[in-house]
Amino acid sequence: MSKLQALQQKINYDKTFDCVQCGYCLPACPTYETMEKETHSPRGRINLVKMVAEGKASIDDLQKPIEKCLGCMACTTVCPTNVQYGQILEGAKEVIEDHQVKSTSRKKMEDFLFGSFFPSAKWMDTLGSLTWFYQKSGLQTFANLLRLTKAAPLHLDKFEQVIPKQPSPKERAKRTKRYIRTRPARAKVAFFTGCVMDSVFFQTNQNTIELLLRWGFEVVLPEEQTCCGALHAHSGKVHDSIHLAKRNIEAFEEEEVDYIINNAGGCGARMVEYHHLFEKGTSWHQRAEQFVSKMKDISEVLVEVDHVYFNKSIDKTVTYQPSCHMTNVQKVVSPPLELMKKVPGLTLKELDRPDFCCGSAGIYNIINYEDSMDILDVKMRDVCNAGSETVVTTNPGCLLQMKLGIEREGVNHTMGAEHLVDLLLEADPQQK
């Protein structure tokens, strides 16, 4: 196989021919709207991939347009020819990653972050505990008074302001691996805790377990589970992502469960596509298909149960910001809305453009901060026009991004943001 043929295979050249350049994707693409360049549209990126695969353009020409893509997959929902844009995008990212020449220091940093930090539950617990100490000890207040946080790289000072209060290390240590409250249980489920979700939104994860128990499920937390691999795939580290997929498949196979539950749109989107990572007919493909068949967002299983009522009225107005990956990849659209409509006292005001990305997209808002803020500004105009008190979402990245958008708009005294799980538990659900 020649080098060009190898490149064509890795970059999914054959899939680019499904795109007929019709332009249906243009109005759906956030980066095309905010950047106003053909190269920053789905069809433009696909055309560039094709040109690189044919030797008519260089990988360097492809790098910026691909890096500027959110990966929100909104284009796939409107595409009339069912172009597999996600696979083309992932192939392009892998080719770009392989092509890059990195300094020794950068390589070591990436090896630590992607190889040790994100996949490690211990590192995630440590991050959460250090954040708790930073908040509880007064260091955060001191650092902000002296404007020391301004020295943080990658605009991390902006996100530092919207990280929720963290539980103490003692509270984190209380969590067990198995929970059951009602016998016989409605079903047995395994809960995927995630990496960033478990570190930064630990209490939301605990609330997820509590909701499942109140709905009558038995809940287990497989000890060997790890990062879903989405951050690795977004960075072109596809082989690392496949390794993590195998680890998760093995971890959840140890428990015979009816469902595997996630509460993070981005993680769920990665895991429902695990079977695409392996060649059809192989044992890993079959095992991945079994894993995927059980994967559910928590809203999907909660909405199916009709013997639960909400004991408390939540008298406030909310608007729902759906996770792009949950909508466009997991195809979970109505369950969160149906659940919110069951909460007494809650007024739901829908956005004019709910499917427009908030600009979070994994770590996009960190590495492409200014572009992300342009996209967030569009989203916040819609949110503010809705006139709600609270923005509800179902993904950690979206939640932080919406909190940041509220701060940027200066409406943090009249508007907040929370995860769907936290809202539902606040309404005190009980079994009939």
- How many helices and strands (H and E) does the chain possess? 24, 11
Bridge-based pairing state of the strands 429-431 and 308-310: antiparallel
Q: How confident is the model at residue 101 (pLDDT cuts 50, 70, 90)?
A: confident
Average pLDDT of 368-392? 96
Alpha carbon distance 154, 334 (integer Å): 35
Alpha carbon distance 71, 355 (integer Å): 13
Average pLDDT of 318-339? 96
Domains observed in the chain: 3-99 (1.10.1060.10), 308-431 (3.40.50)
Q: How confident is the model at residue 4 (pLDDT cuts 50, 70, 90)?
A: confident
Q: Two tokens at 233?
A: 């795939």
Alpha carbon distance 46, 56 (integer Å): 13
Give the distance from CA 91 to its chain's centroid.
20
Dihedrals phi, psi of 301, to nearest 5 degrees: -85, -35
Alpha carbon distance 262, 273 (integer Å): 14
* Residue 22, C-beta contacts closer than 8 angstroms, at least 6 positions apart: 43, 80, 81
Amino acid letter at 297? D
Alpha carbon distance 283, 299 (integer Å): 31
CA 6 → CA 2, 15, 126, 230, 322, distances in Å? 6, 15, 42, 24, 38
Q: How confident is the model at residue 152 (pLDDT cuts 50, 70, 90)?
A: confident
Q: How confident is the model at residue 300 (pLDDT cuts 50, 70, 90)?
A: very high
Q: How confident is the model at residue 352 (pLDDT cuts 50, 70, 90)?
A: very high
Count Cβ atoms within 10 A of the Cβ of residue 316 and give its class: 0-12 exposed, 13-18 middle, 19 or more buried.
middle
Confidence at residue 19, expressed as pLDDT on a 0 to 100 scale: 97
**418, pLDDT greater than 80:** yes
Give the distance from CA 293 to its chain's centroid.
19
At 78-100, the pLDDT tens digits run 999 999 999 999 999 999 999 98
Q: Give, for 243, the enclosing helix (H) or strand (E).
A: helix 238-253
Confidence at residue 148, expressed as pLDDT on a 0 to 100 scale: 76
CA 152 → CA 8, 222, 362, 364, 376, distances in Å? 40, 35, 19, 17, 21
- Residue identified by tokens 């695409």 is 276
Average pLDDT of 52-60? 95
At 157-202, the pLDDT tens digits run 888 889 999 999 999 999 999 999 988 999 999 999 999 999 999 9
Let me know: does 177 contact 224? Beta carbons within 8 Å: no
To 10 degrees, the CA torsion angle through 253, 257, 262, 268? 50
Amino acid letter at 168? S
In 3D, which of 239, 289, 410, 268 has the Cα closest to residue 336? Answer: 268
DSSP at 164: P
Q: How confident is the model at residue 46 (pLDDT cuts 50, 70, 90)?
A: very high
Confidence at residue 153, expressed as pLDDT on a 0 to 100 scale: 77
Strand, coil or helix: 419: strand
Q: What angle do CA 395, 83, 301 make, to 5 degrees?
A: 35
Q: Is the pTM of this model over 0.75?
A: yes
Average pLDDT of 362-388? 95
Strand, coil or helix: 183: coil
* Residue 321, C-beta contacts closer than 8 angstroms, at least 6 positions apart: 351, 354, 358, 379, 383, 391, 392, 393, 398, 402
Q: How confident is the model at residue 206 (pLDDT cuts 50, 70, 90)?
A: very high
**156, pLDDT greater than 90:** no
Considering the chain, what is the average pLDDT of its residues? 95
Confidence at residue 161, expressed as pLDDT on a 0 to 100 scale: 85
Confidence at residue 432, expressed as pLDDT on a 0 to 100 scale: 84
Q: Per residue in 325-337, is it b (16+ CB within 10 Å) or e — as a string? A: bbbbbbebeebbb
Bridge-based pairing state of the strands 295-297 and 308-310: unpaired
Helices within 137-236 (DSSP H only): 139-145, 156-160, 169-173, 196-200, 202-214, 230-234
Average pLDDT of 20-47? 97
